[in-house]
Amino acid sequence: MPIYTLMLFVHIVGAIGTFIGVGMWLFAALVLRRMQTVGQVRALTSLIQPSGVLAIVSILLLGVAGFYMGITVWGERATWIIVATISFLLLAPFGVFVIDPRLRAVAKAAAAAPDGPLPETLAARTRDPLAGIGLSVYLCVLLGIVFLMTTKPSTGVSILAMVVATLLGLISGVLLLLGARTRSREDVPTHIGRT
């Protein structure tokens, strides 16, 4: 079996794992905003550690295999690879050093909190806008990279695609958070007939 074929397989497996891990991060970040009790937060955050490990390992596999294929097969003539690589190198540390620690902090705070309604400090952590918006941008930029890998456009189109992907991520992240904020307000019980 040629090494390129094996690296292509590793690259695709890395991409699938990255999307699953980041998708689970995004799911957790959005659903956390609706949690009412410490027990609910604990149950949901039990997904955070495995999804973080999956995302980080998959990103490493994706990067190593992609780097190998880019150097050995495509070289410098494929400028879309350069744009995708720069986008990937800017994106990967954001997940590892910004998103994952924020979600883990929620899990740690939930583990330390007593059972019952959410304490205000934990409730504030579950509504961290940077995690939700950042993850939306993360997923859209990953989709932009997939677009570059499949269509292999010119340098200008590659850069434009990544700018559009980033903007779509920002817009969708803000819309998702606004929708989650509206739903969480609607979920707050109202007290009728107060004395």
Q: What is the pLDDT of residues 5-35, one digit of tens each?
A: 999 999 999 999 988 988 888 888 888 888 9
Residue whose pair of structure tokens reads 């986008």 in the numeric block = 87
Q: What is the pLDDT of residues 75-119, one digit of tens each?
A: 777 888 889 889 988 887 887 788 878 888 898 999 999 999 999
Which pTM value belongs to this model?
Answer: 0.79
DSSP for 25-70 reads: HHHHHHHHTT--BHHHHHHHHTTHHHHHHHHHHHHHHHHHHHHHHI
Residue whose pair of structure tokens reads 């990103």 in the numeric block = 59
Residue whose pair of structure tokens reads 């583990």 in the numeric block = 111
| Helix/strand number for the chain, H first, E second | 8, 0
Q: What is the pLDDT of residues 149-195, one digit of tens each?
A: 899 999 999 999 999 999 999 999 899 878 766 665 665 544 444 44
Q: Centre a 10 Å sphere on the Cβ of residue 109 and count the other Cβ atoms it contains.
A: 19
- Core vs surface per residue 126-145: b (16+ CB within 10 A) or e: bbbeebbbbbbbbbbbbebb
Which pLDDT score, from 0 to 100, does residue 185 have?
60
Which pLDDT score, from 0 to 100, does residue 194 have?
43
Q: In terms of Cα–Cα distance, which of 169, 146, 41, 194 is closest to 95?
A: 169
In Å, the largest CA–CA distance within the chain is 78
